[in-house]
Structure 1
Amino acid sequence: MEPLASLTKRKISGTARLTRNSKLFKTIISAIREKKGENIVSLDLRQIPEAVSDFFIICEVSSSPQVKSVADNIEYRVKEATGENVYQREGTQTLQWVLMDYVNIVVHIMLPEQRKFYSLEEMWSDASIKAHNEKDI
């Protein structure tokens, strides 16, 4: 029987690892900015063995309709630019926190209250964090 610790480790194939310069990553950041998402940060989780993906991208928006707008725009722009479909999308019923799973990148679109309450940046404090300001375009 396989040890439990090995079940939590991700297997990394021989293919190139995803970077902040990848087309998928840049497309997601751009799509968030198009719909006026704010306080955009990315967490690089590649050095954390327990991580479920390579990156988290977190942003906040001011209203539930804007949560939907940002999520829809990400899905549309990513499909248009890379041909990739979102693997899983959660939170579309309440529109307070939508999670979009692109396997190597997980996007979190949150209302300010949810972002403050769940504090993902603190929870994953071992990850390197990068802010994506307008001047980074």
Structure 2
Amino acid sequence: MTNPIASPDDLKPYLIPAFERKAKSITAINVKALTSYTDTLVIIEGSSHRQVTSIAEHLIKSLKNQKKKAIGVEGVKEGEWALLDYGDVIIHIFESEKKSFYDIEGLWADAKRIDLSEFKDAYRSEETDDEF
């Protein structure tokens, strides 16, 4: 991997666009010690096919604007399971039913989870501020 992910801050370009599209859930898993093909898996859950497609397209556009180009992209238009491969980070975006069926988190149960609470808290407080 050319730019290893060392901290949650390194994941900001990959996470912020997903939080902007109000993903149902987001999990980041450090798999660097367990596999050679990537350092981090990000699993994002959308509540519908339309939201999965929206999150994927927004991520692709946001990352492209930051000069990060995907090595591979699959499933965006179908909206059930999109895969965005950025080398050191692989992003899975699932519709809820598909996420439960494939259980990527369960497959990587031995891998260390990356704490994303700072992102969740930041976006919750922004939503609260917008309401008032």
TM-score (norm 1): 0.79
**1:17, CA displacement in angstroms?**
2.7
Instruction: Write the mapping of 1:11-90 to structure 2, written as runs, cut at 5 A.
Output: 17-20=4-7, 21-22=9-10, 25-48=11-34, 50-81=35-66, 83-90=67-74
Find the residue that maps to 1:26 and give its secondary structure.
helix
SS at structure 2 position matched to 1:74: helix
Deviations 1:13-47 (Å, cap 9, x if unpaired)? xx66322322xx21111000111112111000011
The superposition leaves residues 72-100 of structure 1 with CA deviations (integer Å, 9 ceiling, x where unpaired) of 1111111222x011110111342100000
The gaps in structure 2 that reach 5 residues or longer are 124-132
Q: Judging changes above 3 Å, is the alpha-carbon distance between structure 1 residues 65 and 118 closer, same or farther for their aligned structure 2 residues?
A: same
Aligned pair in 2 of structure 1 residues 105, 47: CA closer, same or farther (>3 Å)? same
Equivalent-residue separation in structure 2 for 1:51 and 1:136 (angstroms):
32
Match 2:78 to one of 86, 94, 106: 94
| 1:130 alignment partner, one of 91, 101, 114 | 114
TM-score by length of 2: 0.82
Structure 1 residue 131 displacement after superposition: 4.9
Q: 1:5 corresponds to which residue? A: none
Is the alpha carbon distance of 1:51 and 1:115 closer, same or farther for their aligned partners in structure 2, counting shifts above 3 Å?
farther
Quick check: 2:38–2:88 contact (8 Å CA) kept in 1?
A: yes
RMSD: 1.8
Displacement of 1:135: 0.7
Residue type at the aligned position of 1:32: A
Q: Is this contact kept in 2: 1:39–1:132, CA < 8 A?
A: no
Runs of 4+ aligned residues of structure 1 deviating over 4 Å after TM superposition are none
What count of residue pairs does the alignment treat as equivalent?
A: 120
Identity %: 25
Secondary structure at the aligned position of 1:94 is classed as coil
CA distance in 1, matches of 2:83, 2:115: 19
Q: 2:48·2:96 contact (CA, 8 Å) conserved in 1?
A: no
